[in-house]
Amino acid sequence: MAFPWVFESNFETGDNSEWDSESDTGSKLSIAHYTTLANITGSAIPYRGAYAMLVDLRAGDTNDHTLTEGDIDIADGATRYFRFYLHASKDFTATADDTFNIFELQQAGGTVEISLGMRITASSNLLEIGIGDGTAPTSFVPFTRGLWTCVELLATVSTGGAGVVTLFLDGGQVATLTSQTHAAAVGAGVLGTQNTLSTTTGCLVFDQFVMDDARVYPLQTRFSSSVDMTKSQHIFVGPGALSGAALTSTTSDNTVTFYDTDIANTTRGQSRVAALSNSGISGIEGPVFFEKGCYAVLAGTSPTAAVYLSQSSEKPGVHGPEHWSDGSIRQYAFNRKA
């Protein structure tokens, strides 16, 4: 297992800079702040942090709305594992049957080798998710609207007839294809909607995307009191406190800096709260207080850090983040002041 992961995108930069390129004719794709998501009826607050990838099809659209990454590559005979969280808004619906891809593994030239997609049946309003060996999924299972679902994909690429594609939802295997023959190795991954019908409407939100050479598995908890950091991210939004933090990597150039903000990449000196480095202080004991939220920036060669949130039961008079649910974060968003 690579750690940090072979490729990871938690969208906490607030833009598409974690990916190589974007295709978004019609401007339906955005890396949306939680204040934006809070104002979309039936949509999701980010699974973790302050940002998530939003594909807003409330007006319907037939264009591609995708992010592409060349580091998502799989050699012939190799296996890679993928994990991301997906939320379909409660009003995600269609007036005509529609099947479309939300994640593709492509050859370097763009030919699709493995597909992960969704299907919606207009007469029953049934929403499904499925996998396929080629341009379109062929094996489907129901997908629940209005809830975050952990989507995992196992992909073994083989030009010799030993290819495997397996789908997991919330940790359980739900579909698999075996003895697949691929035309070539995978050279890129493409995340987002492609070729939806204009009569398919609603929102899809993606978060916490990871690829690795061993199975990633779902996150143990969503609103966690401890966070094992592998890249920069928001630990929480809104008022709260850290009870402690430490660099867990040992490379001399590794640092982690904490800012009191809920805006990505805000590194202004006046919002800096604490900093750790392996050439200086590598750990702190709190409480360390934040008003707007805790944004932690990792830097250096493959840095990792552990962060612990204060709990009122541990330190009298000291409370951790006030927002531990979608509803409370949404309420905070409505009252948020920059």
Give the pLDDT confidence score for residue 335 in this predicted structure.
86
**302 part of a folded domain:** yes
E strand residue ranges, 20-108: 21-24, 29-33, 51-56, 65-69, 79-88, 93-94, 98-106
- Give the range of the structural domain holding residue 246, as residue numbers without chain letter: 226-335
Report the number of distinct structural domains present in the chain: 2
Same domain, 208 and 301: no
Same domain, 11 and 138: yes
Give the pLDDT confidence score for residue 140 in this predicted structure.
97
**1 part of a folded domain:** no
By the 8 A CB rule, do 5 and 11 touch? no
Give the pLDDT confidence score for residue 8 in this predicted structure.
97
**35 part of a folded domain:** yes
Residue 122 has pLDDT above 90, yes or no: yes
User: What is the radius of gyration, based on Cα positions, of the chain?
Assistant: 20
Residue 4 has pLDDT above 70, yes or no: yes
Span 5-32, pLDDT tens digits: 999 999 999 999 999 999 999 999 999 9
Give the pLDDT confidence score for residue 338 in this predicted structure.
58
Of the residues 212, 238, 260, which one is the last residue of a structural domain? 212
Of the residues 186, 212, 238, which one is the last residue of a structural domain? 212
Give the pLDDT confidence score for residue 280 in this predicted structure.
86
* 287 or 170: which leads in pLDDT: 170
**220 part of a folded domain:** no
User: Rounded to two decimals, what is the model's pTM?
Assistant: 0.95
Same domain, 251 and 193: no
Q: Return the percentage of the chain with pLDDT > 70, whole number.
A: 96
Residue 60 has pLDDT above 80, yes or no: yes
- What is the rounded distance in angstroms from the CA atom of residue 128 to the CA atom of residue 92? 12
- Closest by CA position to 85, among listed 208, 259, 178, 250: 208
Three-class secondary structure assignment of 251-309: CCCCEEEEEECCCCCCCCHHHEEEEEECCCCCEEEEEEEECCEEEEEEECCCCCEEEEE
CATH number of the domain at 116, please.
Answer: 2.60.120.200
Same domain, 152 and 83: yes
Residue 80 has pLDDT above 90, yes or no: yes
- What is the rounded distance in angstroms from the CA atom of residue 96 to the CA atom of residue 119? 11
The average confidence (pLDDT) of the chain is 93
Same domain, 148 and 33: yes
**189 part of a folded domain:** yes
- Closest by CA position to 38, among listed 326, 263, 321, 262: 326
Same domain, 101 and 241: no
**217 part of a folded domain:** no
* 335 or 158: which leads in pLDDT: 158
Same domain, 38 and 106: yes
Span 162-219, pLDDT tens digits: 999 999 999 999 999 999 999 999 999 999 999 999 999 999 999 999 999 999 999 9
